[in-house]
Amino acid sequence: MPYKNCSAAVKILLQTGRTGSDTGIGHALAKYLDSLGFVVFAGVLNKDGPGAEELRRACSQRLSLLQLDITNPTQVKEAYLKVAEKVQNTGLWGVVNNAGILGFPADGELLPMSMYRQCMDVNFFGAVEVSKTFLPLLRKSRGRLVNMSSMAGGIPLPKYAAYGASKAALSLFSGVIRQELSKWGVKVALVHPSGFRTGIQGTSELWDKQEKDLLENLPAAVRSDYGDDYFPELRRYLLRMPAYCEADLSPVLNDVLHALLAPRPHSFYTPGKGAYLHHCVFYYFPVWFYDFFISKLLGTKPVPRALRTAEAKDKSL
């Protein structure tokens, strides 16, 4: 899709990831925008990590790497000063808030409060901090703010209470600030992708840590009700996730490009299989039908021990 202003004059700040290896959508987007001639300021969690090294190797000299942990206000401010110094009077055209963490998918009752706080810190507060910090540069250029939310941020999905709540907060923030920034000529777009293979689920070492934290914070009665055999199934769910996700990231990359450069960008994008359909079912059908639809789609396994016991008793009567 051709755009008038797709040139090296277009300067974009984006965070390439928050997984520790700086991979996924942000990593691919940095390469994609660089290949199109953008000036990219890529914020990475680890400037010396393999993801950052790969960007140095694969991208042009237009791309600048910034050490940027978005939960660290000092690093956000330092990144702003470096970008402001480089763009000077030309301004910054776009900010793409992409960094995010998934956490350990589990029932909301089981998740420790630390997981809720961590998801909010990265997926919501970090994105808000970056947006607020860089908005003076966007207002100057009458540019674009693009926030990467999730399908789980627009519809309720089992096992994603912490992640979904943080992304829902980001989605609502985006809608409000879109209205407020329109008077400045700044356009705000929200992206709700479906499942893509991005590595956001983390590594087995991370799962070990998260599962241990979950189990250590569970009251004995809750753990007994769910049963010890319930928890290994949650990990197996993580292992099965990539099989249900798309490997081709181009639908997301194309939507972000459209949000950045189209004269009239959409306020809401739903790249990926099922993303738009799921939203339609949730918003236009009765809640009971949506719950039934999701239960059939995702299944009901595993079943807590207490429910299995109660069901067995009922059958024996």
How confident is the model over 58-109, as pLDDT tens digits? 999 999 999 999 999 999 999 999 999 999 888 899 999 998 888 888 999 9
Which of 196, 97, 101, 88 has the alpha carbon at shortest distance from 146?
97
Which two three-digit tokens encode residue 194?
Answer: 């479906």
Active-site residue, from 80, 160, 163, 269 = 163
DSSP 245: S
- Assign residue 281 the CATH number of its domain: 3.40.50.720
Look-up: residue for tokens 């776009």? 94
Active-site residue, 163 included = yes
pLDDT in tens, the chain (317 residues): 445 444 445 788 987 666 544 568 889 999 999 999 999 999 999 898 888 999 999 999 999 999 999 999 999 999 999 999 999 888 899 999 998 888 888 999 999 999 999 999 999 999 999 999 999 999 999 999 999 999 889 999 999 999 999 999 999 999 999 999 999 999 999 999 887 767 676 666 777 788 888 888 899 999 999 998 888 888 777 777 766 777 788 899 999 999 999 999 999 999 988 888 888 999 999 999 999 999 888 776 788 988 888 666 666 55
Q: Could you tell me the residue range of the domain that residue 18 belongs to?
A: 11-311
Residue 261 forms part of a structural domain: yes
Helical segments of the chain, H only? 24-35, 50-58, 73-87, 113-119, 127-141, 161-181, 204-216, 220-226, 230-240, 250-261, 275-284, 287-298, 305-316
Residue 104 forms part of a structural domain: yes
CA 263 from chain centre, in angstroms, equals 25
Query: Is pTM, for the whole model, over 0.85?
Result: yes
CA 180 from chain centre, in angstroms, equals 23
Residue 2 forms part of a structural domain: no
Domain count, the chain: 1
Residue 3 forms part of a structural domain: no
Residue 266 forms part of a structural domain: yes
Residue 216 forms part of a structural domain: yes
How confident is the model over 243-261, as pLDDT tens digits? 677 778 889 999 999 999 9
Residue 271 forms part of a structural domain: yes
Residue 5 forms part of a structural domain: no
